[in-house]
Copies of this chain bind each other. A is one copy, B any other.
Amino acid sequence: MRSAKTINLPRPAGGDKREAILRAAISVFAHNGYFNSKVADIAREAGVADGTVYLYFKSKEEILHSIFDRSVDEAVGEARKKLELLTDPRDKLRQIASLHLERLGADRDLAVVFQVELRGSTKFMEEFSAAGFAEYLALIRSVFEEGQRAGVFRQDLNAKVVAKILFGALDEMATNWILSKRRYKLAPMADQVLDIFLNGVTE
């Protein structure tokens, strides 16, 4: 039937299925929660048989890992690249905040997985923490330290703490956005967060 395509399939089918399963998993996890999601649900959503999932992933948990790993790699990569174009540390932080919220705001399901499902166990959090998360915090911190050296940021602050605060604020914006019934744009919040972060709330 589809004989015309028989020329070669180096792995188009392979990558396809894997991708389909990952996408399906993001959706299923986002809607039911990781622990309440059945592998069978993911398979159905991906249009694949239960067993096929195991040709691409060792276990249900590995699927979650893969979602996380891929997304973080992408995000940190993009951030690094865009930051190179900027010099003012304030602009860099603004860029980080924007990318952070844009990325999550662009894919609600993925955001749910990140903000909610990935937090669901200390075990995961520890791996999470060990992996890209620490790297991300370090990125914020290094930009801040750069700004301290340049004299634009207060010298009396602990950069680690500062990084956590900025991250925490962004993280909370994202979590709240997910849980909110009302649909608003997430990305624009970045400016408000940065304004308060840079200038404080005091008159």
Contact = CB atoms under 8 A, between A and B. Distances in A.
Interface of A: 30-31, 33-36, 90, 112, 116-117, 119-123, 125-126, 129, 144, 151-155, 157-158, 161-162, 164-165, 167-173, 175-176, 178-179, 189, 192-193, 195-203
Contacts of A198: 200-202
B165 A196 contact: yes
A168 B173 contact: yes
Contacts of A126: 179
A120 B123 contact: no
A104 to B, nearest CB: 14
A50 to B, nearest CB: 21
A201 B164 contact: no
Count identical subunits in the complex. 2
B154 A165 contact: no
23 contacts: A33-B121, A33-B123, A36-B121, A116-B120, A116-B122, A116-B125, A120-B120, A122-B178, A144-B201, A153-B201, A161-B173, A161-B189, A162-B201, A165-B193, A167-B172, A168-B169, A168-B170, A168-B175, A171-B172, A172-B172, A196-B197, A198-B200, A200-B200
Contacts of A35: 35, 120-121
B176 A122 contact: no
Given A161-B192, A165-B196, A201-B157, A117 B116 contact: no
Nearest to A193: B165
Given A165-B172, A169-B165, A202 B154 contact: yes
